[in-house]
Structure 1
Amino acid sequence: MNQLLRLLVVLAPLAAAAQQDSGGYNRALAAFNAGDFDTAAPLFFQASESGGDAQVRGKAEYFLAQSLAKEGLLVSAFISYAAIVNAGPSHPSYLKGVEGLVDMQQQLDEQNLIPSILNQAYSDEVRDQWVTLPKEVLARINYLVGTVSQRRMRFEEARTLLEAVPKDSRVYSKARYLLGVVLADPRFPGRPGEGDTLDKEALAAFNVALSGTEPQVELRATQHLALIGLGRLHYRRGEYAEASAAYEQVPRYSRYWDQALFENGFARFQNEDFGGSLGSLQALHAPQFAGAFQPESWILKATVYYYSCLYDEVKTTLAAFDALYGPMAKQLEPFAAENGDLVQAFNLVASENKGLPRPVYLWMRNNERIREVMRVLSRLDEEKQGLRAGPWRGTPLAKQTVAALEDVRGTLLQVGGTLARSRMREAVDNLRTFSDQAEIIRVQTALDEKDLLQAGVDQKALLTRQSLYRPKMPGPAWNYWKFQGEFWIDEIGYYQYTLKRGCPAKTPETQTH
């Protein structure tokens, strides 16, 4: 009801002093109030383009954006609101334009352009005006500008903005999660002197995100990310059991489950749970993840075997890594140009290129910000088609709006291309790095085998004397099933290895070296 009252006040006709410039505006306003947005929008457009009263033009620009939004043309409305915000505080509808822009961000879930526009506009000049905005609008601005600050490593600024988001905001849990990421970042000012205090604050922020009460659609992904954030922070602190416990809470088959499996493999390895580490990797290497790009997981698997002195398994694992990722490195060479065309780079993820390894394509495409660019581009193209075929086709409004959409499309392609190129370089660097690590493990394995041979250690006899036992059961509600090479969907994620150790027992002489 309060929103309706505000709307009725906003839509009151202009004062009589401006009537001479407002004939078209008032006709547009009447049509808007009647819900006839097809009629209202072109009239508002004409009023906004007229050379009359500045107040009339400013209000017409705002209600044109409102009309576009009412017609479901959210990208077009976002462009109109952005023009008002970019005009600055002198615009007659400035604060309402800011509010409309934030509303479009929420409806579009646009994470690239709108946060940047708000960040650019968020200056000392307007801060006192913005505090008069509705509480939830200001909360979202603080969160969105905080995301930009975090990306640009302005950590103190990000902290201030994210801490300003109140508990009753719908983005509170998101803000707490991102605050945890900011505080846990090793580059945050004050480390290492205040590291322990910052870590505790980060842990608290992640836990608040986990206990959020926002709508489940928005909250669920944030909570999964908060669990991974907790796991990473515990891991960095050397608290490997706690890290593993956090990773294991990420639900099976959530969007982030494969990442949680991978990182849990490292946590278990560092906690000297070699069987648990291999169990996590067994799930990650199941056929259901055949399209995953996880080269480091094979290096971890080889490392676990190496520390268990199971050298045949080390060599088998590295051979699998070479077979899977060796060809990918060669396939990526034509796509890894340092200064390639950004639109071409984006096209690699917009539609699958047969020359690009599918796991790399899927990995690039799964980037959250790239996905958002693709989603907004799809919406933008739909709006262009509707404007060219709808009731405004051929009108100056349709022509100018389509031109503006084309400009934004070009900007989005540049943003998407920059993200795609960065992701491609990361894939190339990963393959080069882990190929080098594989070679180091391969050489060290050969040297250790030579040392055992020279020491007269019969490793095969050593392994034969050992017995393999069932892993410890987590509780009475669990069942044990021996893995026989079949991956059942209800078993993936619950694997646990038991390992023999091929390392000879240390003597007092070897322990002193």
Structure 2
Amino acid sequence: MKRLLHILVVLAPFAVAAQQDSGGYNRALAAFNAGDFDTAAPLFFQASESGGDADTKGKAEFFLAQSLAKKGLPVSAFISYAAIVNAGPSHPSYLKAVEGLVDMQQQLDEQNLIPSILNQAYSEEVRDKWVTLPKEVLARINYLVGTVSQRRMRFEEARSLLEAVPKDSRVYAKARYLLGVVLADPRFPGRPGEGEALDKEALAAFNASLSSNEPQVELKATQHLALIGLGRLHYRRGEYADATVAYEKVPRYTRYWDQSLFENGFARFQNEDFGGALGSLQALHAPQFAGAFQPESWILKSTVYYYSCLYDEVKTTLAAFDELYGPMAKQLEPFTAEDGDLVQAYNLVAAENRRLPRPVYLWLRNNERIREVMRVLAKLDEEKRDLSGGPWRGTPLATQTVASLEDVRGTLLQVGGTLARSRIREAADNLRTFSDQAEIIRVQTALDEKDLLQAGVDQKALLTRQSLYRPKMPGAAWNYWKFQGEFWIDEIGYYQYTLKRGCPAKTAEQQQP
């Protein structure tokens, strides 16, 4: 990413010779104040390229960025603001450009380049200057730089930045969620001695995110992630019932519901609620999730059956896993090369692609950072079309801005390609890992069946003597319906299995510790 930032540094100021016009800046400012940005922007461009004094030139660069923003060209404006920020605090419009850059990040919801630029600029030299920025701008900077610190595993730094986001900020819920993730990370420094204290702080951070009522578009999604974060923390602490409570609060059919179903299956299994675990997986394996990439869910399902000594069901589940995911591993092999072209990797995700298995393709497309690259690229291409055919068509301003947009497009393609290639390799590694686990379960099942046979245990008779009962009802308002192979949309997510156990009773000697 550092190399990509250097690419952005050279995009502006624009390197085109312009005829000096001492009155150009004043005429541009008059047009700007009158709301005539079509006239103002080319004049500011000329003034920024003239041989005038540094103060006027710097102001012209800033007002050019402002004009681009007001014309609805946030990517073009972001490039101009970034050039000023990269120039450093000696630039006469430095702090205003920082504020403008944060505004463009919010408009674009850009999570890759702009946070990295702010992170690179966030040095001891400028920190005292940045505290004079508007409170919400500084809060957003702390959050955005905190995301970079978290990705780079600089956990103490991330903690400090995220804790600095005030409660009345519009990014408070996001900052508290990410703070919870940081504090709960097993790699956080000092965890061996301070683990309990860190866990309590993480729980408080997740709960603060959940209790936030700030009017932000992403609030609900952030709070669903906070519920999953709570579930994971309780799970790691062995508090499996509490983990289940958190997972089951993620609303049905929301973006992260499939992930909560899967993880809740693990929590219920660890809590020895085998029927509940299979119920979560039954929902996850419904036709409505046919495009989901969840290979581990089948390994969990076979594990539940294995612990219940239901060996025929183990083999049926592993056969279903092989049928679904066996072909995918071979399909992914051509796309996992170390030296693969990054643009080609991105293009695998950018449009409907039949060369990738559809569940893997959808899994890639659901990655938030990849989605952000796609969104910004779409906006960038729209701006290129507007500039090439709008009122500035053929002007030096349009020519240079389109060239700068094309450079940023190349940078974003590299970022998107890196993310896509990493994600494809992760999918391939997951398939390999879970195929190996499936084989281990398959072998162990065969060995256990052999042991039962040699011990003279009639497992079929053992299962026949057992009765299946209806699961316990959660409350008086609930109805019981026997599942008959049909998936009704209003029933998915409420399944509960009851299981027989094919394990013979342990002898008194076997029960001794």
Question: What range describes the TM-score normalised by the shorter chain of this pair?
Answer: over 0.9
Other-structure match for 1:44: 44
Other-structure match for 1:353: 353
CA contact (8 A) 1:22 1:56 kept: no
Distance (Å, rounded) in 1 between the aligned partners of 2:22 and 2:184: 56
Distance (Å, rounded) in 1 between the aligned partners of 2:77 and 2:438: 52
Superposition pairs of residues 268-307 of structure 1, within 5 angstroms: 268-307=268-307
Report whether the alignment pairs 1:184 with 2:184.
yes
Distance (Å, rounded) in 2 between the aligned partners of 1:22 and 1:473: 82
Deviation at 1:347, TM superposition (A): 0.6
CA contact (8 A) 1:21 1:56 kept: no
Q: Percent identity?
A: 90
Distance (Å, rounded) in 2 between the aligned partners of 1:187 and 1:22: 58
Other-structure match for 1:201: 201
Deviation at 1:353, TM superposition (A): 2.4
Deviation at 1:506, TM superposition (A): 0.8
Task: Single out whichever of 450-459 and 21-30 deviates more from structure 2.
Answer: 21-30
Distance (Å, rounded) in 1 between the aligned partners of 2:312 and 2:129: 69
Distance (Å, rounded) in 1 between the aligned partners of 2:46 and 2:108: 27
CA contact (8 A) 1:28 1:40 kept: yes
Deviation at 1:22, TM superposition (A): 4.4
Distance (Å, rounded) in 1 between the aligned partners of 2:354 and 2:448: 42
Report whether the alignment pairs 1:434 with 2:434.
yes
Other-structure match for 2:11: none
Distance (Å, rounded) in 1 between the aligned partners of 2:72 and 2:394: 19
Deviation at 1:509, TM superposition (A): 2.0
TM-score (norm 2): 0.95
Counterpart of 1:199, as a letter, is: D
CA contact (8 A) 1:21 1:53 kept: no
Counterpart of 1:354, as a letter, is: R
Deviations 1:348-384 (A, max 9, x none): 1001321210100010111000000000000000000
Other-structure match for 2:97: 97
Distance (Å, rounded) in 2 between the aligned partners of 1:365 and 1:218: 18
Distance (Å, rounded) in 2 between the aligned partners of 1:216 and 1:232: 25
Deviation at 1:495, TM superposition (A): 0.4
Runs of 4+ in 1 over 3 A off after TM superposition: none
Counterpart of 1:161, as a letter, is: L
Other-structure match for 1:509: 509
Other-structure match for 2:135: 135
Distance (Å, rounded) in 1 between the aligned partners of 2:192 and 2:458: 48
Deviations 1:474-494 (A, max 9, x none): 000111111010101111100
SS at 1:193 equivalent: helix
CA contact (8 A) 1:173 1:209 kept: yes
Distance (Å, rounded) in 2 between the aligned partners of 1:388 and 1:465: 79
Superposition pairs of residues 39-118 of structure 1, within 5 angstroms: 39-118=39-118
Superposition pairs of residues 149-164 of structure 1, within 5 angstroms: 149-164=149-164
Deviation at 1:91, TM superposition (A): 0.5
CA contact (8 A) 1:311 1:445 kept: yes
Counterpart of 1:405, as a letter, is: L
Deviation at 1:512, TM superposition (A): 3.4
Deviations 1:111-151 (A, max 9, x none): 00000000000000000100000000000000000000000
Change in Cα spacing, 1:484 to 1:216, as seen in structure 2 (3 Å) is farther
Deviations 1:256-315 (A, max 9, x none): 000000000000000000000000000000000000000000000000000000000000
Other-structure match for 2:485: 485
CA contact (8 A) 2:184 2:233 kept: yes
Counterpart of 2:265, as a letter, is: G
CA contact (8 A) 1:264 1:277 kept: yes
Deviations 1:390-423 (A, max 9, x none): 0000000000000000110000000000000100
Deviation at 1:187, TM superposition (A): 0.1
TM-score (norm 1): 0.95
Deviations 1:10-40 (A, max 9, x none): xxxxxxxxxx974101101111111110011
Distance (Å, rounded) in 2 between the aligned partners of 1:228 and 1:184: 12
Gaps of 5+ in 2: 1-19
Superposition pairs of residues 222-261 of structure 1, within 5 angstroms: 222-261=222-261
CA contact (8 A) 2:21 2:46 kept: no
Across the two proteins, how many residue pairs are aligned to each other?
A: 494
Other-structure match for 2:450: 450
CA contact (8 A) 1:110 1:376 kept: yes
CA contact (8 A) 1:299 1:318 kept: yes
SS at 1:179 equivalent: helix
Distance (Å, rounded) in 2 between the aligned partners of 1:225 and 1:51: 53
CA contact (8 A) 2:170 2:216 kept: no
Distance (Å, rounded) in 2 between the aligned partners of 1:452 and 1:365: 47
Distance (Å, rounded) in 2 between the aligned partners of 1:282 and 1:218: 29
Distance (Å, rounded) in 2 between the aligned partners of 1:511 and 1:134: 67
Aligned-residue Cα RMSD (Å) equals: 0.9
SS at 1:266 equivalent: helix
CA contact (8 A) 1:76 1:405 kept: yes
Other-structure match for 1:312: 312
Distance (Å, rounded) in 2 between the aligned partners of 1:472 and 1:339: 55
Other-structure match for 1:472: 472
Report whether the alignment pairs 1:25 with 2:25.
yes
Deviation at 1:192, TM superposition (A): 1.1
Gaps of 5+ in 1: 1-19
Distance (Å, rounded) in 2 between the aligned partners of 1:241 and 1:21: 73
Other-structure match for 1:9: none
SS at 1:192 equivalent: helix
Counterpart of 2:84, as a letter, is: I
Distance (Å, rounded) in 2 between the aligned partners of 1:199 and 1:451: 44
Other-structure match for 2:174: 174
Other-structure match for 2:16: none
Other-structure match for 2:5: none
